[in-house]
Amino acid sequence: MNAHDDLAEIAAIVARARTAQAAFEADGSQARYDRAAQAAAWAIMEPGRNRALAELSVRTTGLGNVPDKITKNHRKTLGLMRDITTAKTYGVISDDPGTGITQIARPMGVIGAVVPSTNPAATPANNIINALKCGNAIVLSPSPKGVPACEVLLAYIHAEFAKIGEDPDLVQMVPAPGSKDKTQRLLEISDLVVVTGSQNNVKRAYSSGTPALAVGAGNVTVIVDETADLAATAQKIAASKTFDNATSCSSENALVVVDAVYDAFVAELARAGGALIRDEAPIVAALWPDGHLNRDIIAQDADQVITALGLTGEVPGDTEFIVVETTGIGPDHPLSGEKLSRVAALYRAPDFEGAVGITTRILAHQGAGHSVGLHSAIDARALALGTALPTCRVIVNQAHCFATGGAFNNGMPFSLSMGCGSWGGNSIDDNLHWRHFMQTVKIVREIPAREPSVEDIFADYWACAET
């Protein structure tokens, strides 16, 4: 198939999606939208299919591990379904006599979604469920390594659709082999594009001419201060850093520890499976042998990481992740950036203010807008970070990768895509969730006038300006 045929194929897929969506909306109801979303959710959550998708994902991408993929597929989807269960996405969703405005929910249309290889089942499922809940059709463009998992996921969804009489054209994908040209065409002719993954894809989404929801790069930095519960903090960081072999953009990449508890915290990290390496040079050389992250280390199990880093026999046998002491920050110091592996950078700060300074410099290098963590007993310090740092989330006393994308014990929406605001070059500063997949029509009625006098508005200012 030549390039012209490839683009025609994408146009035909989107046309079928558009036809299906029009019918879905024309004969829509909240019950129908909810049922379609439930079908897509059960397609990935049914235990046998969940395991099959997890095993296929790890086998074809070489990233992460099967038990954690199963957990991620289940919890992310279950949490999303909890979030959307009572959400009103069809018909009149609000009617305010005070303003005279009635709001009617309307779908976006056809969603074009670019999804990464790090979560080749969980992220597509999240986007599909949100799209269907709001009355949309969706066409997925998976990364090359994510194609097999996406194909199987869609087969499972279509099987569920057959049980409820729903149109399979509501959920489609760019057929293999994928290409930049095919993805670009999808971006250009969809009604809304949603992009999670490489920053190159994010930039292409924003320049496609189609309204876009895209997310920024992660490079999570976590501060541990002198009031933290060191044992609990080390356990939380260990659980988060090792989950699915650090495929999450919310995995801790830098730990900034105040001097007063530095040595004690290093000891707690060791008890939690974190081996300290004081000489960063060989680690940097092994992680970036040619200036690019070593694929033998990205999102791999601990034993493979230890071997690839040349640490066999140099670290304890129960080591689960590597912590590397460093002071450098910036392009010439790659440890200060995202590592997508069971490796974290460790910085020593003189005090909390010094830790904030180090964190600010790291975010200026990479990860601005995404999220930072704080382990502290002083809540005011979380507020201080929220008012001083370029970040959309401050995660307090939690395992970062479990908390950032929504958890059953915090109030964040369940998501696998984190908006990073203007700091990260994004149009949203929230976790991508169902509300982003819906638009509204406002019925505007006349109400009694509420026009203030000029004096009502400016009296205080005039008094101030005259003094």
> Would residue 249 show up in a list of annotated catalytic residues for this protein?
yes
Query: Pick the catalytic residue: 249, 392, 401, 420?
Result: 249
CA distance 399 to 233: 8
CA distance 93 to 106: 10
- List 195's β-bridge partners, or say none: 114, 214
- List 443's β-bridge partners, or say none: 102
- List 107's β-bridge partners, or say none: 438
CA distance 172 to 150: 10
Instruction: Give the pair of three-digit tokens for residue 439.
Output: 């638009």
Instruction: Give the pair of three-digit tokens for residue 325.
Output: 């002491």
Mapping DSSP to helix (H, G, I), strand (E, B) and coil, where does residue 368 land?
coil
Residue 396, class by beta-carbon neighbours within 10 Å (0-12 exposed, 13-18 middle, 19+ buried)? middle
CA distance 97 to 367: 44
Is residue 217 within 8 Å of 299, Cβ to Cβ? Answer: no
Establish how many alpha carbons lie within 13 A of residue 441's alpha carbon, considering only the half-sphere containing its beta carbon.
9
**Cα-based torsion angle of the residue sequence 84, 88, 89, 92 in order, rounded to the nearest 10 degrees:** 180
Single out the residue of 434, 436, 439 nearest to residue 79, CA to CA: 434
Tell me how far CA of residue 191 lies from CA of 97, 209, 439, in angstroms: 32, 10, 12
CA distance 223 to 268: 15
CA distance 372 to 103: 36
**How many CB atoms lie under 10 A from the CB of residue 281?**
7
Residues in contact with 140: Cβ distance below 8 Å, sequence separation at least 6, in sequence order: 113, 114, 115, 124, 127, 128, 150, 154, 171, 172, 173, 174
Instruction: Give the pair of three-digit tokens for residue 148.
Output: 């097999």
Sign of the C-alpha dihedral computed for residues 255, 256, 260 and 262 taken in this order: positive
Indicate the length of the chain as a whole number: 467
Catalytic residues: 249
